[in-house]
Structure 1
Amino acid sequence: MFFSGPLVTQPSVSNQVKKLSQALNIELYEVIGKKIYLTHAGEEVVRTGKEIFESINRLDESINNIKCVKSGLLKISVVTTAKYFLPHMLGPFCKLYPEIDVEFKVGNRAQIIERLKANLDDFYIFSDPPEDLDIIRHQFLPNPLAVIASTDNPLSKRKKLRWEDLAGEKFLMREHGSGTNNAIINHLKEHQLKIDKKMVIESNEAIKISVAENMGIAIISAYVLSSSKEDGLKQLRIPTFPIMSYWQIIHLREKRLSLIAQHFLEFVLNKRQDILPMKKIEAHIKKSLQKSS
């Protein structure tokens, strides 16, 4: 079942909004300067409109399921590091349900939290979900954060290091508020460690390249790393590292998951051993832990 209509121009939209405002006998928006702002009544109309469209989408999927057609739209938003493994999950799932459409958004933690608050997607993947929202969490994958340096850095030639040996190094960090940054800050506080010099870079790829160019060292997710020999990177042996965190797939508690969304959640939680290179991931974690001991 599909609902469609002709394209509507901006003047037509303005006309319709004015007619709706007149029909309801209340102002839906106000103009201040050159900007348009919704009134409280206008916000209620928008909220109700979203609910109507969600109901239509659920009806659309219900009809398709009655017809035994496993189709629909799956919407997922993830923080940037999760993009390195999510395609490994989406690929096999889409083969099982070839008729579904997928919207896959990537952003920093603040951007994905805003999407979560606005209820724009079915699922969100974080390593550090927000604590102030009513959400359901499903922990499904380890996310070790390791200290790395360029193979040209003298530190990479040493078999064992203390945190104090890094005192003169510049740390290349993700932006304030990112999941990785939060995990690092909490870990440093817990172990009474500190960083003297740092540079903020809002991209895992840029951090990885910058470390390889010996601009500094970094604490970064193992999922960003591939072969250290190819990338010119080496994991440093530091006590208390790697930091162990976990990836979580979440949704709002009141979210009414579509049938396709329910299937995807079950798929991720029950099939991750088959669809992800878990042996390789677990071997990497084990090796990392051995290095830090």
Structure 2
Amino acid sequence: MRNATFRQLRVFAEVARHLSFARAAEALHLTPPAVTMQIKELEGHVGLPLFERQGRRVALTTAGEYMLVYARKVLATLKDAEDTAARLQRLETGSLTIGLLSTAQYFVPALLAEFTREHTGLDVRLAIGNRHQLVQMLHNNEVDVAIMGRPPTELNVRAEPFGAHPHVFVAPVDHPLLRIGHPTVASLLPYAFVVREHGSGTRAVFDDFFQRQRAEPHLAMELPSNEAVKQAVMAGLGLGLLSLHTLGLELEHGLIARLDVEGTPIVRAWHVVHTLAKLLSPAAEAFRYFVLEHGEAFLAKRYGALLPLAPAG
């Protein structure tokens, strides 16, 4: 391992994160052969294979799992050293990795565009996943800060709210429930639901809502993204519960309908989160301050016309 390079460790960690040489190459802006070469060189230094390859399927070997722990520690230490150097120089340059709940990708890029107009020269990377994946990114020190709803309790983090995050029930535009002014929870139960996967924040809000109502909804299907849920609802495959922040275009153009269910909107909060063990770089600190200062007004301006943000109960 003495001759292993930081580049090889970065490539190794990225392949392990995606379990795909092609996706790692895309994330690193390399060609797949270049990624393969870096992994082969690292395996030569280790003296053991790090991945098992069966066609397009990739899995870590036992040696790979052990090496990944140390590779992440080395890369995290290097990143902390770079951040410290940037602090000493008082420069807002370098790299900034922002972890996003998949729901947040509907507004964070626009917020980030405003931030980068004030802070040029940054190399910004977005890492998107569901809540479970985002917690793992924070744990593995793969992101500087994260934008998420419910902060993790299993990690020692600083979580600061910056804006309201309403969730609403949606239906096809011709659904009979739309003829009822304020449908009750009981009136929803004869209909099937299309839901997000376990591990997502949206699914946690859905499950918590019906548990508090002591009701058992019928689940027609479970889907891995907000877009998939929206398409299924619009196709008439079931009702859905989604963040209002994912629905701007569909509501504006009349492609999907919001159900004004009693007890909704279900309002949670968006948080900017980082682990307390991490020393934030000037770039990460600047982004954190920017979100806390401008996030609430940005969300209100972008989504306020779609729905009053006061919860119904």
The one-letter amino acid of 2:124's match is: V
1:31/1:278 Cα in 2 relative to 1: closer, same or farther (>3 Å)? Answer: closer
1:159 alignment partner, SS class: coil
Partner of 2:125 in structure 1? 103
Q: Which runs of 5 or more residues in structure 1 are unaligned?
A: 19-28
What whole-Å deviation, never above 9, does each CA across 1:1-52 have from its counterpart, x for those lacking one?
xx9989875554345446xxxxxxxxxx699999743499957753652354
Deviating beyond 6 angstroms after TM superposition, the runs of 4 or more aligned structure 1 residues are 3-8, 29-35
Partner of 2:20 in structure 1? none
User: Which residue of the other structure, out of 210, 226, 236, is the alignment partner of 2:232?
Assistant: 210
Identity of aligned residues (%): 24
Across the aligned residues of Structure 1 and Structure 2, the Cα RMSD in angstroms comes to 3.2
Partner of 1:201 in structure 2? 223
1:286 alignment partner, SS class: coil
Partner of 1:230 in structure 2? 253
Partner of 1:114 in structure 2? 136
Partner of 2:179 in structure 1? 157
Is the 8 Å Cα contact of residues 164 and 269 (structure 2) preserved in structure 1?
yes
Mean alpha-carbon deviation: is it higher for 244-253 or for 220-229? 220-229
- Write the distance in 1 (CA, Å) between the matches of 2:184 and 2:161: 32
User: Which residue of the other structure, out of 181, 187, 192, is the alignment partner of 2:214?
Assistant: 192
The one-letter amino acid of 2:71's match is: V
2:253 alignment partner, SS class: helix
- Write the distance in 1 (CA, Å) between the matches of 2:50 and 2:301: 59
Partner of 1:87 in structure 2? 109
Deviation, structure 1 residue 258: 0.4
Q: Which runs of 5 or more residues in structure 2 are unaligned?
A: 9-33, 54-59
Deviation, structure 1 residue 189: 1.6
Partner of 1:263 in structure 2? 286
What whole-Å deviation, never above 9, does each CA across 1:160-209 have from its counterpart, x for those lacking one?
22222222211110001211111121122222222134311111111112
The higher radius of gyration belongs to: 1
User: Which residue of the other structure, out of 80, 83, 87, is the alignment partner of 1:58?
Assistant: 83
What whole-Å deviation, never above 9, does each CA across 1:244-265 have from its counterpart, x for those lacking one?
1111111111111001111111
1:217/1:288 Cα in 2 relative to 1: closer, same or farther (>3 Å)? Answer: farther
Mean alpha-carbon deviation: is it higher for 154-163 or for 39-48? 39-48
Deviation, structure 1 residue 58: 2.6
2:62 alignment partner, SS class: strand
Task: Give the TM-score, by structure 2 length.
Answer: 0.76
What whole-Å deviation, never above 9, does each CA across 1:207-226 have from its counterpart, x for those lacking one?
11211122111111001112
* Pair 1:46-2:71 in alignment: yes
Mean alpha-carbon deviation: is it higher for 170-179 or for 188-197? 188-197
Deviation, structure 1 residue 282: 3.9
Partner of 2:272 in structure 1? 249
The one-letter amino acid of 1:79's match is: L
Is the 8 Å Cα contact of residues 150 and 156 (structure 1) preserved in structure 2?
no
Deviation, structure 1 residue 158: 2.3
- Write the distance in 2 (CA, Å) between the matches of 1:288 and 1:174: 24
